[in-house]
Structure formats: C-alpha cells, structure tokens
C-alpha cells in the first residue's frame, strides 16, 4: 500500500504519486466505494498525451459510468493491464495494485493537488 499522506489528490477523486518525474495515478478508496463494483476500465492509450483536467478514461461500475480526469500533464508510459483483466482490483486495492496509469511528466511543478488532510475534509472522511 502507498503512504497515503505522501500522495496528491484531486477533487475528482484521483490520487497521484510522483517519483523521478513519473506520476502514478489511480482513484481513491472513497471513489471506489462510491462507484460500487467496477466492471470495466477504459484507460488512455500508451503514449497518449494527457492534459491536466481533461478526461483520460472511464470507469464503469454496477451503479454508473464515471469519467477519469488527468491530474497532470504528461505522456502515458505504462498502463496497468491487471485492471483490464480484473477491474475489481481497483475496488480491492485502489492505492496499490489497482493503480491505473503511469505518466512521464512534462517538467512542470505539480499544482492544484490537495494533501491528504484537505482531501479528507472534501470527502467528509477521517484520518
């Protein structure tokens, strides 16, 4: 499991972990719980260019379809193929094996992301 306090969060319920210019992106446990059982994951293509705030894919659950928004600018360098085979992995381990994409950042500093405490205030969660 990823250290939750080390992540950046968006108000659209994505999380971002950055190491060496690479951002790993997934959805939060709150989003996974609200969506219900995820049955299909539609991710961007490998080498796709992402623009922060723009739609990068969709998650389909037994309750609804939810858009995924890119939290950073960059190029997709890796897709988590495990979530194609087993979409429920996103529900079971959203901060670990259920990650969605890895992105080579375009060099800009990350802005507009929430820290864990601010994200929990947004969702009404507790530490």
Each residue of 8-55: pLDDT tens digit? 999 999 999 999 999 999 999 999 999 999 999 999 999 999 999 999
> CA–CA distance from 35 to each of 5, 32, 98, 122 (Å)?
23, 5, 14, 17
Residue 60: exposure state from Cβ atoms within 10 A (0-12, 13-18, ≥19):
middle
pLDDT at residue 51, rounded to an integer: 93
pLDDT at 127 over 70: no
From 20, 22, 23, 15, select the one nearest 93 (Cα to Cα): 15
Helix (H) and strand (E) counts in the chain: 4, 9
Is pTM, for the whole model, over 0.75?
Answer: yes
Residue 2: exposure state from Cβ atoms within 10 A (0-12, 13-18, ≥19):
middle
Which letter, b or e, does each residue of 93-117 get, where b requires 16 or more Cβ atoms within 10 Å of its Cβ?
A: bbbeebbbbbbbbeeeeeeebbebe
In the chain, where are the structural domains located? 4-108
CATH code, 4-108: 2.40.50.100
Q: Which residues contact 19 (CB under 8 A, 6 or more apart)?
A: none
């Amino acid at each position: 499991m990823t250290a939750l306090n080390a992540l950046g969060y968006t108000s659209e319920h994505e999380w971002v972990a950055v190491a060496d210019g690479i951002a790993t992106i997934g959805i939060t446990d709150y989003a996974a719980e609200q969506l219900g059982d995820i049955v299909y994951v539609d991710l961007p293509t490998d080498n796709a260019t992402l623009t922060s705030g723009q739609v990068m894919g969709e998650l389909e659950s037994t309750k609804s379809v939810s858009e995924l928004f890119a939290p950073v600018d960059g190029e997709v360098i890796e897709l988590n193929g495990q979530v194609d085979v087993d979409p429920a992995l996103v529900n079971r381990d959203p901060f670990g094996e259920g990650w969605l994409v890895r992105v080579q950042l375009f060099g800009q500093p990350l802005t507009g992301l929430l820290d864990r405490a601010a994200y929990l205030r947004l969702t009404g969660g507790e530490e």
